[in-house]
Amino acid sequence: MAEKIGVYFDKSSLEPYLDLESLSEKIQNKWSSVCPVVRIVDQLASEQGHSTVKQDIDAGEIDAVSICGTSPRKDQEFFDFGQGVSMDRVNLRELCIWAYRNPDGSLPGDKDQPLDLQGMAQDYINMSMNKLQRSEVPEPEVLESVKKVLVLGGGWSGINAALSTAGAGYEVILVEKQKQLGGHAAQMYKTFPLKPPYTQAQEINLQERIEAVNQHPKITVYTGSTLQSLEGQPGNFTANIQVGSEQQQESVGAAVIATGWEEQDTSYLEPMGYGKHKNVITTWQLEQMAQKGEIVRPSDGAKPQSVAFVLGFSHVLEDFARQEEEEKARLEEERKKREEEEEDEAIEEPFQKTESYRHLPYTTELTTMTALKQARYIRENDESALSYIIYEHMTASGLNEHYYKAAQDDPGIMLTKGMISSLEESPQDRLVLGVEDNLIGEPVELEADLLVLPTGLVPTTALDPVVQLAYRQGKAFPELELFDGFADSNYICFPYETRRTGIYTAGCVHQPMSLAKSERDAQGAALKAIQCLESVNRGVSVHPRSGDLTYPKFNFVRCTQCRRCTIECPFGALEEDADGTPKPNIARCRRCGTCMGCCPERVIYFDNYSVGQIGAMISSIDVPEEMEEGGPRILILACENDAYPALDMAAQQGKKWSPYVRIIPVRCLGSVNTIWIADAMSKGNDGCLLLGCKYGEDYQCHFMKGSELCQSRMQNIGETLDKLGIETERVRQEEAAIDDYERIPQIIDNFVDEIFKLGPNPFKGF
Ligand code: SF4
Ligand code: SF4
């Protein structure tokens, strides 16, 4: 808890807009008992500025620092004064000056909307003082970490993940359910070009890699083995492995899941003649034929003279798309029902097998490149043979363009954009395809000996709980139904990461990808696993708040064992005992604060982030007694990952918004405890705006569903406000992504306009 706070103003970013002398005087008067040092420094982000602060710390004058100047997102490391010193940044430049000044640098002097930037700055500084007074210097919870990584799956991705991890000096346990390593790659003929000039498919050097794995002193391989369960937490997992008839136990610190894919249920190809016509096959079937050196027509075993590859046939799959929508709606309905029931029922999330037709009536890089590659196989098989590729979208990006061009230059390969309008079988078992909307501009008919349809890749996590987690919240990765069976926790910002900390995915279990990409993906996942090992043993969070020393603490005396925190933790970090008392697993925790936000008893807190602390910051806001004179006062709680940076960027680009708002960043809207809103409103604030990430299926929340949870909590606060006689419209939640800097000032101003229409909070003045 800070007792001697030093306040430092950065003159270079605040003058002439703020009267720093006057602000200094006010701080000295108001905070004299806890603020022995207030300085105005010409340029804080300079060696001289840094050493001014450092000297005060070293002399024992202060034990906490409040830097008043630029956004906390700027010069983060520069303003780190080391462990043991509480730090806060007061964002006066972006939020208090740049959001209001004119392009010529002047401040508007609108008499209808008087700008009281001094008052605003004073509010923000008071918030900082309250924040620091309620901050402890975080002490990390250091756990012993086993420097060993479990790699599950011995196909191409697993092999590469194992080699990368071992290459970095860490031990690896590689578990493969088949008797040999290699997976699907062992059944493939060639891969797309991996080296210049990127025009020829090439051999897969699989055997070489398998040799490297088998000979590596740091890799232990279990083939013909399965993972029975994974218990514990990052740094200290126990993997129970079934090796033949024996049970083997291994201690590992992190895991890479590289269990790959299974072929999609071919029933979705039926509208394109699969299963009806003998000479309609999939790319995976053709690949295996090529590997055996036997590309033939199934009907008569003859070498095909003409082969049609069809990429995408979305119009044929309309029925499936409709089914997909219906299925999604049903699953969402079930999920909501389950969530409602969870209050009283067991919280384990049941594994839901993902229906395979949900995967993919669209063209990917993988299906495009496979068609290009296999069209060349046909030509290699018989140089007089012809290949046709009929595509809706040609997805050959980057260096793959060279391979696409090489196919275009081959006189035996015809490529056309088009849609299949009809499919018949001739008496000679040939396929007759009608092609419309093509580049020629009129319908054409093609005859082919063989029709090849793309193979859909379904991640193994969609079919089986491959990892068998011994977690209170279930054996599998949760809520797979919303993500088509992929186990990721955030595609956009955190590839590799699942919703179970310390467990990463690589290769086609992560998303459909080529061997080249799988190799890079395996390297990435291996590095994440290593980062995890090396974070746990320093007591810091792995991600997304990498390096965070804090973790949730529990004041169990007040706990009513309501289990809300255990249920709402998005990452399965909280187990519970038989009575329902939460049992935290710190290394699984991502420090989102969702548990803190949901706890009705305010049992949970972090050293530098707590219900009491933010509550005190809200109380620091000076609420004008008369709305007509000082304007309304509106609290904004903004997600620090998206909305807050968007506000910063908006200000940096000269966008403006109402001066009646006061903004407090929060770790996630999931961490918002409703008591903050109730307190803000009961203290006379006229409105409260919550700015968080998009939620639902296209979610962007770093912590999975913080905005969604906050929204449902807001319904409860609505009832409380209703009872108090405060209009529920005074509290609103809006979605804002990091690139919403154009829109975010408008969101604020629209809300402020509505508050003006509602008039003053009836609690004002009480
Ligand atoms: S901070 Fe987040 S991840 Fe950690 S226990 Fe709480 S809800 Fe779970
Ligand atoms: S939400 Fe709070 S009161 Fe309920 S079990 Fe968790 S810590 Fe205890």
Report DSSP letters for 82-115, one per residue.
-TT-EEEEEEHIIIIIITT--TTSPPP--TTS--
CA of 588 to the centre of ligand 1 (A): 8
More confident call, 464 vs 279: 279
Q: Where in the chain is the domain with CATH 3.50.50.60?
A: 148-263+458-536, 266-313+361-455
**pLDDT for 314:** 65
Q: How far is CA 599 from CA 288, 639, 665, 719, in A?
A: 56, 19, 20, 18
Which residues, 6 or more positions from 398, have their beta carbon under 8 angstroms from its beta carbon?
A: none
Q: Residue 635 and residue 658: Cα distance in Å, rounded?
A: 12
Domain with CATH 3.40.50 in the chain: 1-137, 609-766
End-to-end CA distance of the chain: 31
Inter-axis angle of helices 156-167 and 206-215, nearest 10:
40
Of 443-447, 473-477, 523-527, 689-693, the range with the lowest mean pLDDT is 473-477
Kindly identify the ligand whose nearest atom is closest to the C-alpha of 550. 1
pLDDT at 353: 55
144 C-alpha to ligand 2 centroid (Å): 28
Beta bridge partners of 519: none
Q: Is the pLDDT of residue 493 over 90?
A: no
Judge whether residue 343 has pLDDT over 70.
Answer: no
Question: Token pair 């049903």 is at which residue?
Answer: 330
- For residues 217 and 560, what is the distance between their CA atoms, to the nearest angstrom? 52
Nearest CA to ligand 1 atom 2: 592
- What is d(CA 471, CA 449) in angstroms, rounded to the nearest whole number? 53
Q: Is 594 in the pocket of ligand 1 (CB under 6 A)?
A: yes
Mean pLDDT value across residues 47-61: 96
Say what the pTM is: 0.89
Nearest ligand to residue 472 Cα: 1
pLDDT digits (tens, 9 = 90+) for 139-177: 889 998 999 999 999 999 999 999 999 999 999 999 999
pLDDT at 454 over 70: yes
Q: Tell me: the pLDDT tens digits for 514-528?
A: 998 999 999 999 999
Q: How far apart are CA 520 and CA 157, in angstroms?
A: 9
DSSP 3-state assignment of 250? strand
278, amino acid identity: K
Going by CA atoms, what residue is nearest to atom 4 of ligand 1?
A: 589
Task: Cite the DSSP H helix spans in 608-743.
Answer: 611-619, 627-630, 643-652, 674-682, 706-724
pLDDT of residue 215: 98
Residue 43: partners with Cβ closer than 8 Å, 6 or more residues away: 10, 11, 12, 49
Q: Into which CATH architecture does domain 609-766 fall? A: 3-Layer(aba) Sandwich (3.40)
Pick from 343, 560, 566, 595 the residue to mutate for probing ligand 2's pocket: most ligand atoms within 8 Å of its CB: 560
Residue-level pLDDT at 605: 97
Per-residue pLDDT band at 357 (split at 50, 70, 90): very low
**Which CATH superfamily, name and number, covers 148-263+458-536?**
FAD/NAD(P)-binding domain (3.50.50.60)
- Give the model's confidence band at 348: pLDDT under 50 very low, under 70 low, under 90 confident, else very high: low
Task: Pick the ligand that lies closest to the CA of residue 501.
Answer: 1
Q: Is 569 in the pocket of ligand 1 (CB under 6 A)?
A: yes
Angle at Cα 266 formed by Cα 264 and Cα 270, nearest 5°? 145
162, amino acid identity: A
Helices (H) and strands (E) in the chain, counts: 20, 32
pLDDT above 70 (res 763): yes
Model pLDDT for residues 26-37, shown as the tens digit of each residue: 999 999 999 999
> Which residue, judged by its Cα, is nearest atom 4 of ligand 2?
562
For residue range 630-672, what is the model confidence (pLDDT) as tens digits? 889 999 999 999 999 999 999 999 999 999 999 999 999 999 9
Residue 339 confidence (pLDDT): 66
- Ligand nearest the Cα atom of residue 548: 1
Give yes or no for residue 385 having a pLDDT over 70: yes
Secondary structure letter of residue 515 according to DSSP = H
SS3 433: strand
Pocket of ligand 2 (CB under 6 A): 554, 559-565, 582, 598-599, 601, 603-604
Q: How remote is the CA of residue 641 from the centroid of ligand 1, in Å?
A: 16
Buried b (16+ CB within 10 A) or exposed e, 482-492: bbbbbbbbbee
592 lines ligand 1 (CB under 6 A): yes
Nearest ligand, CA 582: 2
Which ranges in the chain are annotated with CATH 3.30.70.20? 553-605
Q: Alpha-carbon distance 492 to 585, whole Å?
A: 26
Atom of ligand 2 nearest to the CA of 595: 1
With 0-12 / 13-18 / 19 or more C-beta atoms within 10 angstroms meaning exposed / middle / buried, residue 154 is buried
Q: Who has greater pLDDT, 75 or 698?
A: 75
The CATH number fitting domain 1-137, selected from 1.20.1290, 3.30.70, 1.10.150, 3.40.50: 3.40.50
- CATH code of domain 266-313+361-455: 3.50.50.60
Give pLDDT, residue 721.
84
Give the position of tokens 């926790």: 489
- Looking at every residue in the chain, the average pLDDT score rounds to 90
> Given the structure tokens 């696409």, which residue do they identify?
404
Give the mean model confidence (pLDDT) for residues 287-296: 96
What is the CATH code for 553-605?
3.30.70.20
How many angstroms does the Cα of residue 616 sit away from the middle of ligand 1? Answer: 22
Q: What is the mean pLDDT of residues 582-597?
A: 96
d(CA 47, CA 34): 26
Instruction: Output the CA 564–ligand 2 centroid distance in Å.
Output: 6
Average pLDDT value for residue range 203-214: 96
Question: Ligand 2 centroid to 197 CA: how many Å?
Answer: 61
Does 624 or 490 have the greater pLDDT score? 624
**Residue nearest atom 6 in ligand 2 by C-alpha distance:** 565
Residue of 472, 563, 610 to test ligand 2 pocket, by largest number of atoms within 8 Å of CB: 563
Report the atom number in ligand 1 closest to the C-alpha of 604.
Answer: 6
pLDDT for residue 465:
79
Asked if residue 356 has pLDDT above 70, the reply is no
119, burial (CB in 10 Å: exposed 0-12, middle 13-18, buried 19+): middle
Supply the pLDDT for residue 489: 76
